[in-house]
Chain A
């Protein structure tokens, strides 16, 4: 069974940083690209970032490019999202996701990031 478990969310002041982690199990982690998707309170889904299976290629939404950094450790079956210079607009539930063009559409339970003074 595929499991994705996010951690690292919480309350942070504007301008602060957080690192989210996503521990994966139940599939061969090193063969899949992974991504992060966020959902602001009461809003829709926004793709944030993705990383290739090897970690050699990374992709970002325009809204977070230069602010967030995605990485992965295939020895630990974990993907990370380093978030810097946080602002109120970054307040959201952040989901880790294993998504492909096929039948893989797995999401974690999400971790809430609140940016507020």
Chain B
């Protein structure tokens, strides 16, 4: 199953609302997660089951979608949110795959 994220790069300012899209090559129901990765660090789980916020993750992060189209939204960017974001499909768990990543940079 192929995952395609858009955009691959995103430039935004603190306080902006941003949305990242992840499209799957086939129906994955809601078996989709979102991760944040900062340079030199392991990925951090933000959202699972397409829309469930992981414990401890700020409420400015939200996820939606089902089937083949999903979105991650950050309602008001904070300085610590500038990182790379990956979607992950778990439809064929324990096999899974990732999108190519979206690098969120400060404008």
> Which residues of A approach B to under 8 Å, CB–CB?
33, 35, 44-47, 50-52, 59, 95, 99-103, 105-110
CB of B39, distance to nearest CB on chain A (Å)? 10
Contact, CB under 8 Å: A108 / B42: yes
Q: Helix, strand, loop or mixed for chain B's interface?
A: loop
**Contact: B42 with A45, CB < 8 Å?**
no
Within 8 A of A (CB), among B33-58: 33, 35, 37, 42-45, 48-49, 52, 54-55
Q: Which of A33, A47, A51, A95 contacts B42 (CB 8 A)?
A: A95
The chain B residue sitting closest to A50, CB to CB, is B94
A44-B100, A45-B86, A105-B33 known; A59 and B48 CB under 8 Å?
no
Q: How far is the CA of A50 from the CA of B94 in the complex (A)?
A: 6
Decide yes or no whether B101 CB sits under 8 A from chain A: yes
